[in-house]
Chains A and B, each alone.
Chain A
Amino acid sequence: MAALVQGVRGALAISSCLLRATLPRATLVGLQQKGIHTNLCGVTPSAALLTSRNESKVAAQRWMASNPGVKPTVVEIKDRVLRVCKEFDKVTRLSLTRQSIRLYSDKAPLSLELIRDRVLLVLKLYDKIQPEKLTLETHFLNDLGLDSLDHVEIIMAMEDEFGFEIPDGDAERLLRPADIVRYVADKEDIYE
């Protein structure tokens, strides 16, 4: 039992090292959290919970077992890394991890369109803004006739929506919905 957990931990370290260079931050957090979860529970993941990540772990274990004491060459490592990169698909990867383990501190994958929709939804729900006048380029103070306290309330609503703090220096520059979308995309590293 302990040997199995150690083997899992070892394989997890290998796959983490390989994938660290390739995976984006959020998925890596998910990976580490899942690893922590497995180790803390001390429970063997049942066959029903086996995902492709577990399968690659098992494959790595088998490779290690079949070639004892053989160090992989640079060419082999390069091939394996390139294969993993080619096979990597962000959306299915995140959906797979969400299927088996719940990551309570991770956020949903964002895209520019999703950010845009969420920002416009929050602004439409704000009762001091008329939804007909609202587009991405309308200025809060000049076009929509709000005042600075309303602007503060809007920025607070954005902080609550996207789950991170917006400091004052940045907040006073976010005067249009397009600015807010761009700022959130910068903070969350979304480039599409």
Chain B
Amino acid sequence: MASREAVRAAVRQVRPILSADKGEARKRVLNLYKAWYRQIPYVVMDYDIPKSVEQCREKLRQEFEKHRHVTDIRVIDMLVVKGQMELKETVEIWKQKGHVMNYFKETEEPKPTDFLSKFLAGHE
């Protein structure tokens, strides 16, 4: 009982990664969004991807919405850092077209629903 309270008190004052409070974390997130938003026309031009600027912006919005529910500040900071790393690689053209197009690829294959697909997949 006492140990549980001690753990709770310790967890409340954990060391921050980048931002100390929600306001700062929110600023970082919005700046990252702005930077990506402004870079998208150049991404489309440099990598010559078969997507339009609007589609890329929609995808950007989707990626940010994926993590909308996150409340832990350290997790938010980590996600922002990863986003900044991706942005750096995209801006400096260290990536290639395939890396950029990976954003548009679904990582999970949809499960087969009708009989034939299930048969071909081996009744999975």
A, B bound: yes
In chain B between 48 and 76, which residues have their CB closer than 8 angstroms to a CB of chain A?
A: 61, 64
- CB closest chain-A residue, reference B26: A148
> Is the CB–CB distance between A149 and B33 below 8 Å?
yes
Q: If A156-B37, A156-B38 touch, does A149 touch B64 (CB 8 Å cutoff)?
A: yes
> Is the CB–CB distance between A168 and B37 below 8 Å?
no
Q: A84 within 8 Å of B by Cβ?
A: no
Q: B34 within 8 Å of A by Cβ?
A: yes
Q: Which residues of A contact B31 (CB under 8 A)?
A: 168
How big is chain B's contact interface, by range?
A: 10 to 19
Most buried by B among A149, A153, A156, A168: A149
Q: How far is the CB of B65 from chain A (nearest CB, A)?
A: 8
Question: What is the bound-complex CA distance between A168 and B31, given in angstroms?
Answer: 8
How big is chain A's contact interface, by range?
A: under 10
Q: How far is the CB of A164 from chain B (nearest CB, A)?
A: 15
Q: Which residues of A contact B64 (CB under 8 A)?
A: 149
Q: Which residues of B contact A153 (CB under 8 A)?
A: 37
Question: What is the bound-complex CA distance between A187 and B38, given in angstroms?
Answer: 23
Most buried by A among B34, B37, B38: B34
Question: What is the bound-complex CA distance between A152 and B64, given in angstroms?
Answer: 13
> Is the CB–CB distance between A148 and B30 below 8 Å?
yes
Question: What is the bound-complex CA distance between A178 and B30, given in angstroms?
Answer: 23
- CB closest chain-A residue, reference B65: A149
Q: Which residues of A contact B34 (CB under 8 A)?
A: 152, 156
Q: B118 within 8 Å of A by Cβ?
A: no
- CB closest chain-A residue, reference B61: A149
1/0 contact string of A143-181 vs chain B (CB within 8 Å): 000001100110010000000000010000000000000
Question: What is the bound-complex CA distance between A153 and B38, given in angstroms?
Answer: 10
- CB closest chain-A residue, reference B27: A168
- CB closest chain-A residue, reference B31: A168
> Is the CB–CB distance between B38 and A168 below 8 Å?
no
> Is the CB–CB distance between A152 and B33 below 8 Å?
yes
Q: How far is the CB of B102 from chain A (nearest CB, A)?
A: 22
A148-B26, A149-B33, A168-B30 known, 11 other contacts, Cβ within 8 Å:
A148-B30, A149-B30, A149-B61, A149-B64, A152-B34, A153-B37, A156-B34, A156-B37, A156-B38, A168-B27, A168-B31
Nearest 3 pairs between A and B by C-beta?
A152-B30, A152-B33, A168-B27
